[in-house]
Amino acid sequence: MHEATLSGVFRLYRAALPRCWIPALVLALGGAATSFKLERMLPATADPWVWAEQVRQVAMTGAYWRILLAGAALSLLCYAALAAEILAVAEPGTPRPAAAGFGPAFNAWPSALVAAFIFIVVTTLGTLAFFVPGAWLWGMWQLWLPAQVAERLGPLDALRRSWRLMTGAWWRITTLLTVVFIVVFALALLGYLVAGGVLMVAGLSLGRATAVLSAMEALGNLLLAPLVTAGFVLAYLDRRHAQVPVH
């Protein structure tokens, strides 16, 4: 019932999508607002060398990192809410989470921020040291968010739970989720190519073209973020129902 397959991911996505629109919409609007604020800080110049140097200077400012971190924190909250909604759809008889998934998401948010920080720092260091350790760690810890939302775990317990769930299933689960990411990337790229072609034919000004592309990005988040989350949730349920003990 909870076997992690690509067709299973799409079935869960279609079943859960009508209940995911509120957190997905908040995610889309938050992402659009973050992109807009960051783009306003970046220079408008045709010289790539001048642009690169000005970007480097902007990236050294506190305002840039405050906007980036605030956007990341909001995104994490929305993905936790999506996970809560999709978990309820995947498990028949489970009560619908409060406030469109934001009830359990807010409860998990402080621990999720800590777990996300540990996950990003350690996997990044592993990747910089040598690619294989980083990829392996990423795969072993990739189920921490659905585990944390479903089982109300602390940050370290969520990472340990993901490790136990992924033991013996690294290749199968990581391959599935990689395919899901490729599908999402291909759909997003197709949307941008279509939008870019239409904008070129329409001959819109740079300002209007940027606004249209920002709207396309928001629409992509609205439709595709639940698909990514459905992949992680189904992978988590697959391993949990494989009789992997909680402790």
149-170 residue pLDDT tens? 999 999 999 999 999 999 999 9
**Residue 187 pLDDT level (bands cut at 50, 70, 90):** confident
> Is the C-alpha dihedral spanning 178, 181, 183, 185 positive or negative?
negative
Euclidean distance between CA atoms 58 and 187, whole angstroms: 31
Euclidean distance between CA atoms 228 and 231, whole angstroms: 5
| Token pair listed for 79 | 């993905």
pLDDT of 43 reads: 63
* 94-143: pLDDT as tens digits: 788 888 889 999 999 999 999 999 999 888 887 777 777 778 889 999 99
CA 87 to chain centre: 16
Which residue in 96, 76, 63, 86 sits closest to 12, CA to CA?
86
pLDDT of 132 reads: 74
DSSP string, 136-148: HHHHHHTTHHHHH
pLDDT of 40 reads: 75
Half-sphere exposure of residue 43, counting CA atoms within 13 Å on the CB side? 15
Total residue count of the chain as it appears in this document = 247
**Residue 210 pLDDT level (bands cut at 50, 70, 90):** low
Euclidean distance between CA atoms 10 and 55, whole angstroms: 39
**Residue 195 pLDDT level (bands cut at 50, 70, 90):** low
The percentage of the chain sitting over the pLDDT mark of 90, rounded to a whole number, equals: 50
Using an 8 Å Cβ cutoff, are 230 and 16 in contact? yes
Euclidean distance between CA atoms 28 and 188, whole angstroms: 14
Euclidean distance between CA atoms 12 and 88, whole angstroms: 11
End-to-end CA distance of the chain: 23
234 vs 213, more confident? 234
Long-range Cβ contact pairs of 33-40 (< 8 A, separation 24 or more) = 33/71, 34/67, 34/68, 34/70, 34/71, 34/74, 35/214, 35/217, 36/214, 37/67, 38/64, 38/67, 38/68, 39/210
Average pLDDT of the chain to the nearest whole number: 84
pLDDT of 62 reads: 79
Using an 8 Å Cβ cutoff, are 160 and 118 in contact? no
* 227-237: pLDDT as tens digits: 999 999 999 99
Tell me the average pLDDT across 80-102: 89
* 8-36: pLDDT as tens digits: 999 999 999 999 999 999 998 888 888 77
